[in-house]
Amino acid sequence: MKNIHMQVALLVAAFLLPFNYANALPVTGQTVKLFDGPGTTGGGAFRIEVTESGIDYTGFCLERNEYISLSDTSPHPYKITGVDDFAANGGVGGAEDFKDVVSKKTKWLYANYMFGNIWSNINGAENWAANTKANAVQNTIWYLEDEWTDGEWVDLKVSKDASHALYSLVLRQTDYSFNGVVKVLNLVDANGILRQSQLIGEPVPEPETMMLLGAGLVGLASISRRGRKK
């Protein structure tokens, strides 16, 4: 009977392990490397690789006056000092008590870019190139977070029309709730110097996934009960 219980426990662990890893954000103390992704603004999108888990995330910059080095040609690891709702120390837009809290609009934008279908709400946007889409998201994030001045925003040099169209869409929303978790990775380099904070996120499990999880656990419980009857 003990062997049956052990088998059930191992089956539960095997079922839950990929589910947990697929929906977990990085944690404080872990190390990340950033790699180039779509976009030509000098910001995101970036591919963010967590060294300890090997899991990749997509990141966008929050500050325009802090910098990072990419690991495409040589490794540049950064340590996570916090997985927060704010950018430590802020950027061009400043901060209060060294914390620049990320707006609901910015989180909504990231979540809908990553896990939604935001481009279907802008005429012709579904046909934009990947670089244009990433540029529009990065520029809009910077403007929402006061990293662009009004004058700079009007005279954007990269993907201006796309960025303005996306920003207008964000402002038209009446509800900035979304399914998922969006957080800020606050990073330091090997010398403990703050580097460019990164906006990342993960979706919540779909209802079908939760039903599958529940069905699997019920089935495992049934196996356990049959084992006890013997």
Q: What pLDDT is stored for residue 10 in this prediction?
A: 43
Q: What pLDDT is stored for residue 103 in this prediction?
A: 97
Nearest CA-CA partner of 220 in 2, 3, 5: 5
Q: What pLDDT is stored for residue 94 in this prediction?
A: 60
Q: What pLDDT is stored for residue 212 in this prediction?
A: 47
- State how far the Cα of 80 lies from the Cα of 188, in Å rounded to an integer: 7
Contact 37, 45 (CB under 8 A): yes
Q: What pLDDT is stored for residue 220 in this prediction?
A: 47
| Look-up of token digits 């990929």 | 18
pTM over 0.75: yes
Contact 83, 25 (CB under 8 A): yes
Q: What pLDDT is stored for residue 24 in this prediction?
A: 85
CA distances from 75 to 31, 139, 191, 201 (A): 12, 27, 15, 23
Q: What pLDDT is stored for residue 226 in this prediction?
A: 52
Contact 6, 223 (CB under 8 A): no
Farthest-apart Cα atoms in the chain, separation: 77
Mean pLDDT per 10-residue interval, the chain, length 230 residues: 49 44 81 98 97 97 93 97 92 69 98 96 98 99 97 98 99 96 97 96 62 48 51
